[in-house]
Every structure is written in C-alpha cells, then in structure tokens.
Structure 1
Amino acid sequence: MKKKFASLARASALVGAVALLPATTAGLAQVDARTSSDFARLFEIYEMVKSNYVEGVDDEQLIRGAIDGMLASLDPHSGYLDGTAIERLNTLVDGEYQGLGLSVVSEDGAVKVISPFKGSPADEMGIKAGDYITHLDGKSIIGWELDEAVAKMRGPEGTDIQLTIFRAGREDTFDVTVTRGRIQLEPVTYEIEGTVGVISINEFSRDVGIDVAEAIDSMRRDVPGGKLTGLVLDMRNNPGGSLREAVILSDLFLTEGTIVSQKGRREEDNRTFPAELVFRGEITPGLPMIVLINAGSASASEIVAGALQDQRRALVMGERSFGKGSVQSLFYLDDDRTRGLKLTTARYYTPAGKSVQEGGINPDIRVPQLSDPDAARRARLAFRESDLRGHLINEIDLDERELENDRKADPRFEVTAEELEAQGIEDFQLDYAIKTLNRTSNPVGLARRK
C-alpha cells in the first residue's frame, strides 16, 4: 500500500514549509549604536555577577540563562534547543521512545500538560489536559528546566514513576503512579463503526497524509457492502506537528480554494497553500464528513479543521480548540545540528482569513464530552493558548463573547456519565458524531455544497 501512495510522498516536497522548518540566518538584524550600548550593559552585569556572586558561577550557566530569558520574553513557543531538546523534538516527529506519553509545556516554573497521547500510559491513568505536575517520585520539580523534567519522566519500559498532580477545581494535590511504556508514535489509527469510517489522527508527524489515504483505502475494502457512508476525522487531543502534513491531509479532501496561509515579517514567510497543491482530485468525493476537536487540538490540527470548515467540506464538532495560530522555524546554530533556535516566525490563517490565535476553532456543533464525569468542570477550566503567559495576541478582533460559550451548559445535552455508561457509551462525542452521520446521507455542511 505504501507504493500506491508513494507519489504523495514525492509531491509533498512541493509544500516546503513545516511547523519546525530549518531556516537560514540571512537578514540578521544590524547592530546599531543603541544596541551596542545595551550589549555593553549586559556584559557589565555578567562581569559583576562573575566577580561578586556568593559562589563561583559557570559561564555556560550565565549565558544559557541570558538566552532563555531573552526568548522567554517573546512567546511560549520560542526557545533555545541543545542536543537533548533537539533529540526529543526529532523523536516526536520520527520515532518512538520509552516514557509516559505526554505533551507538556513549562509555565511559571511548573510542568503543565497540554494533552496525553491517546492510549498512552499517562492517558490510561487519567492524566488530563491542564494538569500541573508538581513532583516526580516525591521530589519537587518546580523551577526545573522543561527538558530536565521530561528526561526524568522518561525511562525504561515497565518501570514506575509517581506523579504528583495539581488539578484545577480540586483542593489538594494527588499522586498517580504510571508505568512507563514504549510510546509508539502511531499518528494514524482507524476503525469501522457500521459503515462509518473513523480515523484518529494523534499527531502530525511524517507521512500522516499518506497514512490517512491508506486508511481510507483499507476501510473501503473492509466495510460491509463495500461502501463507506460517512467519515469521522478525530483530532481530539492532537497537539499538532508538521504544517506540511496538515496541508497534505487537507488536500486529500479539497479540490479548490485555499488550505491555509501564513504571514510573517520576512518575505519568505508569506505563503499561501492552495488545494490540489499535492493531490489531484478528492479522495472521498461527496462522502459526508465530521471533524472532531477539543481543547487539546492544537496547531496543525486547527489548520485542518479550519480548512475543512471554511471550505464547507466537513462539519466540525466537539469543543473549541487550543488556539495556537503561529508557525515556528528551527535555526541550527552549528554544522552538527546539536544546537538550535526555535523561533516563532509567522502566523497562519484559515481560508476565510481568520486567525485562530487565542480563539481557536469554534465547532459548528458544540458537543461536550459527557462520558467524562468531570466534563462540566473541565469545560470551565480548560487549558488553552490564551492561558499561556506571554502568548501572542490575536491581531484580528476577537469576540470574547464566543469564548464565554465554553462555560455555558448546553440544554440539548442533559444525560449523565452514569446513564451513558449504562448504555455502553464510552465516548459520547464520537458516538454523537457517528449517529449524526447515520441519520442522514448528506446533511448540510457534511459534504461540500455545490
């Protein structure tokens, strides 16, 4: 099956930009007289610290601190990466590792969970988006570097680690013991529910577009009667990844218009990605589609959801997404590529010209995850881009009233988690999406309107 879609892999080179794109250092800022004076002040403080601090201080420690402080003043997604951090980044894109299966960020000196990977040890033990990890094996990690905390959480498969969790809405912290596993970065999985295909896209790593195309091809062969009647793209708790793969995936379902555009300060950062850039024709013409998102759907997930929503190719269902509307480029600082600068260089926009920064993608139908007994509380306390200190501001007017809808109960959904469990429904959002597709063959918004 890989061979059948090999042309997609070759054609993907046309797309070029990715969420973490190796970039040139052309156009470096010129140092003027005022900047030279500021650097002199920085060096003066460095010399004072070296001469007067109560203990001897390593040069590397001071320089790293200055670099980290400089980048921390920009936004939460820019940062300096040394060999360990770059290795972690490459692992998330290309391979597998042994650990817990968490996407995390550093906030105010603490480790905050963006989302657990679906089916990972952390997910199975109930770790939730928005949780703070305060201790590892009883030792406080407040103030640790993020890479140091991540390295501590990783370890041999089968070994245990105790996480102390602070969760909004609970008075006390609580401990969870998680057994490390081999995290297979399986970005695409699928199943057939009746005649509805369900494709879960867990992250946007290499070949996601090809994997989705193959999944659809396989489901067409295996579905009863040989015909799919609907398709669910499940991107809940997908933290994102490659912009290139988001474009390729969107292109599978679109035949015209724009998929996404990006704008930055440099001319090379201003790009528009049109439909049929990679894949000619639509892989599922006329097939009704639903895209599932939630607060853990970020970045590349939002690009796909926004493209299919604005192009009216799919109905977006679930909860408002994370709201990361920026693109990062990776500038390597040495020939061995062991040190690099991850820098926010552009913002991206949906086909309708909307920036998802802060506000995220609003679903066409807001469906709470009622099979989660804490659904109502979690909706009120959901963690998103707008909660990160120093996040980029949406430069297009953002209607704050839309964000308030997250905190309002929907009278259409009054069933309890206990009632759903009695009915054998473990995933209310997915169940609702499948039933929506089964109720009608071509509801408004599920297939492109001509």
Structure 2
Amino acid sequence: MAALSDAQRDYFGVFALNGKLLNAMKTNPKEFIKKAKTRGAQFIYTIESQHVIICIYVYMIYLGSIKFQHFRYGRVMFMADQDYDGSHIKGLLINFFYMLSPSLLRIPYFLSELITPIIRAFHCNGIQKLSFYSYPEYEKWWKNWGNSDWRIKYYKGLGSFTHEEGKEFFQNVEIQRKYFVWRNDEDLDAINIAFSKSKTRERRGLMLKFKSSDYRDYTDLSICYKDFLQKEFILYSMASVRRCIPSLIDGQKPSQRKILYGAFKRELFTEIRVDKLIGYVAEHSAYHHDESSLATTLMRMARDYVGSMNINLLMANGQFGTHIQGGKDHASPRYIYTELNPISRFLFPEIDNKLLKYLNEDGISVEPEWYLPIIPLVLVNGVSGIATGWNCSIPCYNPKDIIANIKRFLNDDKLQPMVPWYKGFKGTIDKSIGGFLAEWR
C-alpha cells in the first residue's frame, strides 16, 4: 500500500492473502471453500460484499452467475515474495484460477505479476547497483564476478523494501510487471504435472532433468504458464527436497546443519539459553526464515526421551518436551538451555573441517554442504521427510550394531542384518510385512 501513488490508488485494488492457499486440484470445490478461511483466503467468504476484488468474481463465474464483462477489475496482478515460497504461492494462485474457471487463463494478459529483486548487490564505489530476481541468476553472477567489493543484501519479502524502493517499482510498473500467457495445450499439461495427485512420477522426472542454468529470463515481458512452472515454480520444488529430505552423508537437514555449525563455531560446551543461541545461529548462518521454526528444530535435536533419537547432538537442559505429547509440551525457548553434547565433537572431528565445502550466502561463508560424521548418523538417529516428488523414512539403529557392520565392511566380511533400536525402549521390535512392529512390555 505504501508503494502506491495517489493516482494509482484509483486503479489498483489491494487484497492481502495471509499464508498459502490449498492445492485446489487436490481438493474438491466445496472442501476448498470450507477450508479456505482457516488458511487465510477469506475472500471466498465475502461474496455478498460490494467492495470485492476479482477473486470473488472468479468464484461467481464458477457458479455461472456473471460474465467477464461485469468484472470491476480487468486484471489480476500477483505481488508475492520473490523467494521460493513466493513462487509457490503464485503457482497455487494460478492453479486456483484454473480450477474455478479455466477460461480465465486463456484471456491474454489477464494474470500478471510484479517482480521484485530477491538479492541486490551494492558496489563499494556507491554507484553500481545490481538486482537479481532468482537465486540461480545471482549464483551465476557471484561465481564469475563476486568479491569483497560488493555488499550483498537479501530481501526476504516485500516488507524488506523501504518506501522509496517500493515506489521505485511502482513508478516502473510496466517494466516490473510480467504477464502470464496461454500458448497451447502444453500449458495445460504443465499445470496438471505440477499439481495433480496422479502426476508424481512426471514431477519427479522434470526435477531430475532440471538444471540450475535453465532459470527464467526476467527481461521478457511475458511468460507462458509452462515456462513459469518449469523454470520458476520448479525452484520451490527443488528447494522443498533440500529442506525436507536429510542428507545421507550426515543425516541432517539444512536447518539442523545451520544449528550444528553455529554450535561448533561458538564452541558451545557451556550452556546457553535457546533463544540466544537461535539469534546467534541466524546471524552467522544467514538464516532467511522464521526463527521460531529454527527454535523448534533445535529443540528436536536436543530431545532425549524414549523414541526421539539415540544420540542427541545437543543437551536438553530444561523441559524440552515429553514422549506423551511428542515434544509439543516443551517450555518456551527463553526458559530452557542447551549446549553441545560432549560426544558431538567425537562424531564430527574438528580435523575434518578442512575437507568440507562451505556454502556462500549473502556474500558470507556459512555452514558446509554437509558434515562428515565418523559413523552414519542417518542410521543412528533415523530420518523422516516428505517433499515434492519424494519422501523418506529410516528408523533408528543401535550404534554398536552399526560400528560392528562398518568393521565387517572394511574387512570384506559379510554384513549382518540390523533390527531398529531405540535407546531406553524396553519392548521388542519384530519384522512385519510393512516394516517393523514394536510391542511395549
């Protein structure tokens, strides 16, 4: 709102969405409308209002009560964050419009978006300023031209821009606005592959073929739906795999690895309050998301109740939750303390740091791509995760059994089958048809 000029306010209506919509293709219209309010899409419930935007009319078109000529607004322009989640929101909105009225997507230039930089680079001479609209675009530039002469600023979302920067984009709205166009049936196929339940294999195939060098060209005035979904929206899908599927090498997700990096860097062998450690980790690892989720991840890494993990890398000095409620009954991060488990440095020897490949974010060196534990923590503590196209679930195993099998492997001996094992569990675990069955004594 702050970016609009007085004259533009006569032509632009603004409606804020809180959070993400549901996948309309996976939900029948009645169920979608029923759940929309709880997910922040309150516009479904304001049909009777006289001051409504185009989204209301889309639903009315679905009911067959009005025609396109009756629209109060002639176009819809998305203003989402330029990061991966912003691309996801734009894709969900396109899917929403398609499911309620497919013909709308065929109207030339009906849907559009206002693009904003995700990263800006400022040269020390105070004159040069570069804007990047996607991570692959920035990474390619940094690899060839990046150095200490440039100051990098990451823009988490629209709220990161100053009033002046916002007005700058709206003054150049015809340059910053990009239109979605329907070219042929390939656009329809692309929408189905992106959102349909039955197209999981096709989604996986596209992701396996994707190359970071195939990023979208933001200088073009328009983009077809197929290119948007397979050159921008797919970046969210790739990111969801990196975020949610742990590495087989160290058994960690990126957020867990950032916490471990911060703890090692701070040499955290004396306790510290959790909220203070979260702030330290976010600062030194260029964490770009809500710090409350980072706190939740940290508390999961410290839990030591039965069924959580066999080796907690952080200590739980306080109430970190119980098995009864799955850790949800933990105390506030400002009341509990943590520190590195003494065994953590034996699992991740400091001497191995020279072998690691450290990532670069916002122009600073952050955590490594992965750590090199001396035993596979992916088996010790187990992992679980679900993302676009993939999911994984590995139970916990006894560290002693893992070490024994590693020694057999090094000596070219036959490996022994292992049964899942959880520290402190007094029951029995037997193999069943679908996996393993645990019984309490």
Q: Same fold (TM over 0.5)?
A: no
* Greater helix fraction, Structure 1 or Structure 2: 2
* Greater strand fraction, Structure 1 or Structure 2: 1
Which protein has the larger Cα radius of gyration, Structure 1 or Structure 2? Answer: 2
The alignment's TM-score, normalised by the length of structure 2, stands at: 0.23
Q: Which has the higher contact order (CA 8 A, sep 6+)?
A: 1
The alignment's TM-score, normalised by the length of structure 1, stands at: 0.23
